[in-house]
Chain A
Amino acid sequence: MRHTLSTRSVTSLVSRNGAFGVLVVVMVIGFLTVPSFGTADNLRNTALAASFLAIISAGMTFVIISGGIDLSVGSLYALAVILSADMSSHGSWAAIGVPIAACTFAGLVQGLIIARLRLPPFIVTLAGLTGIRGLVFYITKEGNSHPSVPGKPFFETVSRGSVLTIQNPVWIALAVFAAGWYVLNRTAFGQAVQAVGGNDTSAALMGLPVRRVKVIVYAISGVAVGISGVLSTGLSGGGQEARVGNAYELSAIAAVVIGGTLLSGGVGSIVGTFFGITLLYVIQNLIVQGFNLNSYVQQVVSGVFLLVVVILQAVFSRRSETE
């Protein structure tokens, strides 16, 4: 299964363009057939709705490229949302800083367990999914308290304000992706992440700090989830359920995979993830706007779509292997 660098880039190019190509086709169909889809308001709202999971997916991309997986993001998101509302009584900076710090710490701990004790990421973050959700329920008194935000202008402006008519979370998501792209493709750390994901034994032989890289990617995922949760609370003004963010890990993984990043690690693109998550939300929006389908039909369509994409990916990568 060892790809040479050139077939790797071909594979990732094909899959990345795959998500982008499908997005273009779907958007054109949307504009032509569903009048309410193309309105500025609808596009703005779709972008806003997508921005929270988009930020989480950007962090997930780092983890998956490094050869890991982070199943804890849904629970972590709930932790950020609840902590942010809880802390808002101590001021805007507490509402922003504490949740992000807590999520980073949780990511760091999981990363340390994975890298130092050499336990499989799937199991460690599965325990994270269970344990952190438990923590969220503990903080909210078994889900009975719904902390709300007592009017903190600055904190709420961050989420509710807009620049050039587009709301801030969308800009922040774009900034996160830009930063993610830069780190992954233009820094030594980004190269190390890709090398570790490709083959961690050879990465170690090349003298790369494999363990440190593995710890940092989970911390990055934690930071991203923290930012996303804080923005969400700022927008909603708190009062969210302790169940919030349930199954977000699945959507985030799906977005990353649709974007052309291989779950086996080493090969991936954060730009692809951007198109992946956009695609998921555009399709969801089209189903609601155009076809007036139930939420459970939406689930079926998303699942089938995911399947088609991953099968195409498998076919593409095999073709590039044999070339």
Chain B
Amino acid sequence: MTSTAAHTVGRSGTHGREDTTSWVRERGVYIALALVILYNVIFTAHFNQWDTVQLLFAQMPPVLIVSMGMALVIGTGGIDLSVGATMAIASAVLAKFVAPASSHGFGSPIALAIAVALLAGLAVGVFNGAVVAVGRVQPIVATLSLLVAGRGVALVITGGALVELFNPFLKVVRQGQVFGVADVMIVAAAIAVVVSVVVRRTTLGYRLVAIGGNRRAAVLAGVPVRSTLITVYAISGVFAAVAGLIATARLRASDPSYIGLLMELSAITAVVVGGTPLKGGQVRVLGTVAGAVLMQLLQTTLLAHNIPNSVSEMVEALIIVAAVYIQRPSQSAA
């Protein structure tokens, strides 16, 4: 899956024996996903029904889209803790613009509201990128400050309240389908394809992986580190905004204290379970998708078998550690 040159820039390359261990290591997340699906097909009543898939398609897009941005950021050796807060900001901006004057909004057309919400996500991302690249603050702290402040900003925008939204376009986002597939899922899939192409085939992809592999070497090789980092965090910000809009449409309201809550953890989990190392230098797009689907399907499965949520959280924790352990890089480093 990750044998293209882009994924090993700045690393010592593959040096493991082609034995079963490394075969499993490379494909851990897909094997786990296949096992969970197989288990469901056999043991879960009604699993095969199209309804289950539909539900999954309705639930998955926000976390899938955010994970795509997160995968790119983690590929540079960074992390973006602000994605959940960014979703809340985009949601609040949308509500502020689209809500009628009677509920303290601007009553503007939906297209304008969406554009401004996406711009807000872009602004957050560029800001994060600038603090990381120019301010040279560690990504975890730089984006932590926006995790803390961002939700507050969103609450300030909506005046601290939940804003119900009755816009017809949001209904389309919520219910629209193309050939029976939720259109938000098509958006998520399209984003995944684009990100995959960016990683494998574009200069940006090569550069971000080079920075994650070895920042100093990337500088020496003439990679424009600052602009690349800012671009990557900007992409993450915009993706978070898109996810925020979808979550808002699904909720039929903008609730800044709920939208995107703990999304940073779900997205990071999807990325690392998918086999992308936290230290950067590698991006596994398909793995991330599989990681996100695996975690969601796991939750759905446990729920379908009447396992309480508390137990499913404990199982999730075990899966995270197990997945990272199985896919850890071969023990060549001292």
Contact = CB atoms under 8 A, between A and B. Distances in A.
Q: How large is the interface on A (under 10, 10 to 19, 20 to 34, 35 or more residues)?
A: 35 or more
B324 A303 contact: no
A261 to B, nearest CB: 11
Nearest to B323: A123
Contact of B149 (A127, A131, A299): A299
Given A119-B324, A263-B141, A304-B145, A296 B318 contact: no
Interface in B219-276: 265, 268-269, 272
Contact of B278 (A123, A253, A313, A318): A123
Contacts of B147: 250, 303
Given A264-B138, A296-B156, A127 B317 contact: yes
A307 interface: yes
A307 B145 contact: yes
A228 to B, nearest CB: 20
A142 B308 contact: yes
A89 B41 CA distance: 46
Given A263-B138, A307-B145, A135 B314 contact: yes
A118 interface: yes
Contact of B334 (A127, A201, A257, A264): A201
B155 A134 contact: no
B140 interface: yes
Q: How large is the interface on B (under 10, 10 to 19, 20 to 34, 35 or more residues)?
A: 35 or more
Nearest to B278: A120
Interface stretch (B17-25, B97-105, B129-137, B180-188): B129-137
Given A119-B324, A131-B314, A126 B268 contact: yes
Contacts of B312: 134
B155 A296 contact: yes
B313 interface: yes
Indicate the member of A118, A296, A311 with the most B CB atoms within 10 Å. A296
A134 B136 contact: no
A100 interface: no
Indicate the member of A69, A113, A263 with the most B CB atoms within 10 Å. A263
B321 A310 contact: no
Interface string A294-310: 10111111111011001
Interface string B298-334: 0000000000111111101110110011001001001
B160 interface: yes
A254 B321 contact: no
Given A119-B328, A304-B145, A299 B321 contact: no
Contact of A131 (B272, B316, B325): B316
B149 A134 contact: no
Nearest to B141: A310
Interface string B66-80: 000000000000010
A117 B147 CA distance: 30
Contacts of B140: 69, 122, 263
B324 A120 contact: yes
Contacts of B151: 296, 299
A314 B147 CA distance: 19
Given A250-B148, A297-B156, A302-B149, A135 B310 contact: yes
Interface in A121-144: 122-124, 126-138, 142
Interface of B: 79, 131, 135-138, 140-142, 144-153, 155-156, 160, 265, 268-269, 272, 278-279, 308-314, 316-318, 320-321, 324-325, 328, 331, 334
The 4 closest A-B CB pairs, nearest first, are A303-B149, A131-B317, A134-B313, A299-B152
Given A123-B320, A128-B317, A263-B141, 16 more contacts: A120-B278, A127-B320, A127-B321, A134-B310, A134-B313, A136-B310, A138-B308, A250-B148, A303-B147, A303-B148, A307-B142, A307-B149, A310-B137, A310-B142, A310-B145, A318-B136
Interface of A: 69, 113, 117-120, 122-124, 126-138, 142, 201, 250, 253-254, 257, 263-264, 294, 296-304, 306-307, 310-311, 313-315, 318
18 contacts: A118-B328, A123-B278, A123-B324, A134-B316, A136-B310, A250-B147, A253-B144, A257-B141, A263-B140, A298-B152, A299-B149, A299-B152, A300-B153, A303-B146, A304-B145, A307-B146, A310-B137, A311-B135
